[in-house]
Amino acid sequence: MTLTVSADQPVERRVIGLLPVLTNAAYALSLPLVLLLAWQLSSQYGWLPEQILPAPKVVWVTIVDLWSEGTLAEHTLRSLQRVAIGFVIGALLGLLTGTILGLLPRSRAFIWPVFTAVAQVNMLAWLPLLVLFVGIDEELKYVSIAWSAAIPVILATTRSIAGVPSQLIELGRVLNFTPLQRVSTIILPAALPTLFTGLREGLAAAWQNLVIVELFASFEGLGYLITWGRQLFQLELVIAAMLVIAAIGLLLNGALEYLERFVQPWKTEARNDR
């Protein structure tokens, strides 16, 4: 019995490997395309007045005009700068606080109930108090963004570290690991999946809160573009800014997912082996 190997097998494997990617892309694009079609039909047949829902072409022209003028790039870069600084501060503080609470059960029992209660209050409710302490300048943006990013990171980090099986920690003691070795070799790898979930939620919260703060007190940024468009009764400008905000949020989430796969390559390998 002879075994023959086709020269086209690598090509066939690549095609077969691309099928799940193409299928997922088709599913991901189907709903946006349906919504875009409904939007176009509504504009074409006058289901809603243009004062309420401008046509897709009008919104697209607005985006192109803002970009060509440099206005869109200027406001977008300002928003990205604010969210980058605020998120980095909030994420670092969240990781540090969550690690301490996760590793020290007594501290967690003392602080956790109060922190959980405080976390239930939306950042919008804290803004009047923050204005009294830090004013309405850039410090307000950074503090509110950092706080909104830190809460999900603290929650996820604390739960992920506290949820590491005690058998793994005991194994580290048996092997005479130092506390630092137990954290870096056992606790951190076991907590990484939930930790990255908290980082993604923190980034999403930071990006959403950025828009709220810019709506509240700012003369720059994408949130200000929304306020400006509302004041001028130019809803195409409002929708254009909203689309840019949604697109950037999607890209930021994708970047964190890519970083998660890079830091945890074993998850990608396990997924490919299925």
pLDDT tens per residue, range 53-94: 888 898 899 999 999 988 899 999 999 999 999 999 999 999
When the pLDDT of each residue in the chain is averaged and rounded to a whole number, the result is 81
The token duo for 91 is: 């994420």
Question: pTM here?
Answer: 0.79
85 or 52, greater pLDDT: 85
Tell me how far apart the alpha carbons of residues 236 and 242 are, in angstroms, rounded to a whole number. Answer: 10
CATH of 56-273, one of 3.40.50.1980, 2.10.109.10, 1.10.3720.10, 3.20.20.60: 1.10.3720.10
Task: Mention every residue, 6+ apart, whose C-beta is less than 8 A from residue 112.
Answer: 101, 158
pLDDT tens per residue, range 241-256: 999 999 998 888 888 8
Domain ranges in the chain are 56-273
Other C-beta atoms closer than 10 Å to the C-beta of 196 total 19
- Contact indicator for 93, 150 with CB cutoff of 8 Å: yes
Tell me how far apart the alpha carbons of residues 84 and 89 are, in angstroms, rounded to a whole number. Answer: 9
- Contact indicator for 191, 263 with CB cutoff of 8 Å: no
- Could you tell me the end-to-end alpha-carbon distance of the chain, in angstroms, rounded to an integer? 30
> What's at 163, amino acid-wise?
G
